[in-house]
Amino acid sequence: MKIIDTHYIDGRFIASHGTDEAPLFNPATEEQIGTVRLGDGEDVNRAVAAARRAFPDFSRTTPTERIAMLERLSASVSARGDALAEAMREEYGAPASFIDFAAHRAGSVFLDMAKTLADYPFRRTIGRAEVEMRPSGIAAAIMPWNSNAGFICAKIATAVAAGTTIVIKPSEMSAIQTQVLLGALHEAGLPDGVFNIVNGLGAVAGAALSAHRDIAKMSFTGSTATGRAILTAAAGTMKRVTLELGGKSPSIVLPDADLALVAPQLLMAGFANSGQACVAGTRILAPESRMAEVLDHLAAAVATVKAGDPRDRAVQIGPMVSARQWERVQSYIRLGQEEGATLLAGGEGRPEGVERGWFVRPTIFTGVRNDMRIAREEIFGPVLSVIAYRDEDHAVEIANDTDYGLQAYVFGADVERARTVANRIEAGRVVINGAPHEPLAPFGGFKQSGIGREFGVFGLEAFLEPRSVLL
């Protein structure tokens, strides 16, 4: 049993003032593996006070000094990659493909930000004005459980690059991962108070941060419902707000697509991170004229997808993170059938031969209409909907007929045609034919997928404010 009873404040691990505890589980076995002490308003106040004390000196550091700090953070986190991967496997159950990407990325985001910082013009002249980009003030950040360590690193990297100090509330379900990461972050030897981490519940520690008068900037990654609560709380003190929220991303299969090639990619996009990914391509839009072929290819591809113990490297779908999340996914699988969709694969219950653990059967619904709830709501599990379209205009209309706009995927043999379709999609990012990740490109959503962008220069500027001096 791992007992986590400290927060990281002012460069030290200090005992929690809050006395409530939450259990931590291994979702593959349903066993309790630890407890985390939950911070209260006083813990948040202490962390904000430390960030406030550190701010004046830190905001005067030079980009060169901060690049050196980012390099130290990267080296330190990269050196703990194996321990971090193990914690993610144990506490979260993510499959190897996700862990390989996420554990590596946790260290590399610091270097990506260092690259952005090296070229960034903090001062420029506009007419008579000398314009300087200044840190917007003490920042706060709140993380989801599905990418806790990666976002802690990304948000610390951005704060350090901008020259601001930060208070972070990680996901209360990821405390073991946070603790492993903290060991590495501490070793990087940044000045006390530059980053502070308080474990706690959203409704307590998260809400206290969102409303705190000394916090100028809030960077949140999580669900759209929580994003709305944070935006409302932040309005009281006019915080600058970046919200990275949910999605219901379309995967458009164009009529000329090579289906043998594309079907496994559709599943990879849809089942990414066991379906617990904000960017998952959960609505597969396929041409009516080739629907039978598309379904044959999807059925063949899904039959090879292995769900089960995330320690098995052949496994593509691990458990859902919690009993609650398992129940939620089951309820959507029931709902899809009640709404009149047909199961092509999967269904309710655990995969065959699996007795325990919060495992879900990889599920594909066909005959889905875009007005069904399974096509409109974020399920956050390995449950995909196949929706027929008549022609390109119809495909684009369905793709954009959603409250979300985080990511979209287009698959087709003619790349120029795929690009034309991509240009018509209302989403922050459109991926053509499974193109690889671009870490410096802006990331974020249109519509209810969020406000603002992260990463690269757009992410840096979200932590800065221009000040003009007129001579």
Q: Under the rule (CB under 6 A), what is the footprint of ligand NAD? A: 142-147, 169, 171-172, 201-203, 206-207, 210, 221-223, 226, 229-230, 244-247, 278, 378, 380, 406, 450
Q: At 430, list the tokens.
A: 């459109």
Nearer to ligand NAD, 163 or 222 (CB): 222
Q: Report in angstroms how near the CB of residue 325 gets to ligand NAD at its nearest.
A: 8
Are 14 and 47 spatial neighbours (Cβ–Cβ below 8 Å)? no
Are 276 and 310 spatial neighbours (Cβ–Cβ below 8 Å)? no
> Distance between CA 251 and CA 30 in Å, rounded?
33
CA 158 to chain centre: 15
Are 455 and 440 spatial neighbours (Cβ–Cβ below 8 Å)? yes
Nearer to ligand NAD, 160 or 451 (CB): 451
How many CB atoms neighbour CB 437 within 10 A? 11
Q: Report in angstroms how near the CB of residue 264 gets to ligand NAD at its nearest.
A: 23
> Distance between CA 294 and CA 459 in Å, rounded?
38
Q: At 288, list the tokens.
A: 């009516």
Nearer to ligand NAD, 90 or 172 (CB): 172
Annotated active-site residue 244? The verdict is: yes
Q: Which alpha helices (DSSP H) does 80-221 contain, by range?
A: 81-91, 96-119, 148-162, 175-187, 207-211
Residue closest to ligand NAD (Cβ): 202
Nearer to ligand NAD, 320 or 345 (CB): 320
Nearer to ligand NAD, 151 or 389 (CB): 151
Q: Report in angstroms how near the CB of residue 287 gets to ligand NAD at its nearest.
A: 28
Are 272 and 247 spatial neighbours (Cβ–Cβ below 8 Å)? no
The catalytic position among 90, 91, 172, 244 is: 244
Q: Report in angstroms how near the CB of residue 143 gets to ligand NAD at its nearest.
A: 5
Nearer to ligand NAD, 301 or 454 (CB): 454
> Distance between CA 293 and CA 290 in Å, rounded?
5
- Alpha carbon of 243 to those of 76, 115, 298: distances in Å? 28, 24, 34
Nearer to ligand NAD, 194 or 427 (CB): 427
Straight-line distance from the first to the last Cα atom of the chain, in angstroms, rounded to the nearest whole number: 63
Q: Report in angstroms how near the CB of residue 263 gets to ligand NAD at its nearest.
A: 24
Q: Is the dihedral of CA 184, 190, 193, 195 positive or negative?
A: negative
> Distance between CA 306 and CA 351 in Å, rounded?
9
Beta-sheet pairing, 464-470 with 129-135: antiparallel
Are 310 and 93 spatial neighbours (Cβ–Cβ below 8 Å)? yes
Q: Report in angstroms how near the CB of residue 383 gets to ligand NAD at its nearest.
A: 14
Nearer to ligand NAD, 18 or 163 (CB): 18
Of the candidates 44, 61, 113, 90, the residue with the CA atom closest to the CA atom of residue 309: 90
Q: Report in angstroms how near the CB of residue 452 gets to ligand NAD at its nearest.
A: 11
> Distance between CA 250 and CA 370 in Å, rounded?
11
Q: Report in angstroms how near the CB of residue 246 gets to ligand NAD at its nearest.
A: 3
Annotated active-site residue 153? The verdict is: no
Nearer to ligand NAD, 160 or 379 (CB): 379
Q: What's the number of CA atoms in the CB half-sphere (13 Å) around residue 46?
A: 21
Q: At 455, list the tokens.
A: 């990463």
Are 245 and 405 spatial neighbours (Cβ–Cβ below 8 Å)? no
Q: Report in angstroms how near the CB of residue 403 gets to ligand NAD at its nearest.
A: 12
The catalytic position among 278, 378, 454, 461 is: 278
Of the candidates 51, 49, 46, 53, the residue with the CA atom closest to the CA atom of residue 17: 46
User: What number of helices (H) and strands (E) belong to the chain?
Assistant: 15, 21
Q: Catalytic positions, please?
A: 244, 278
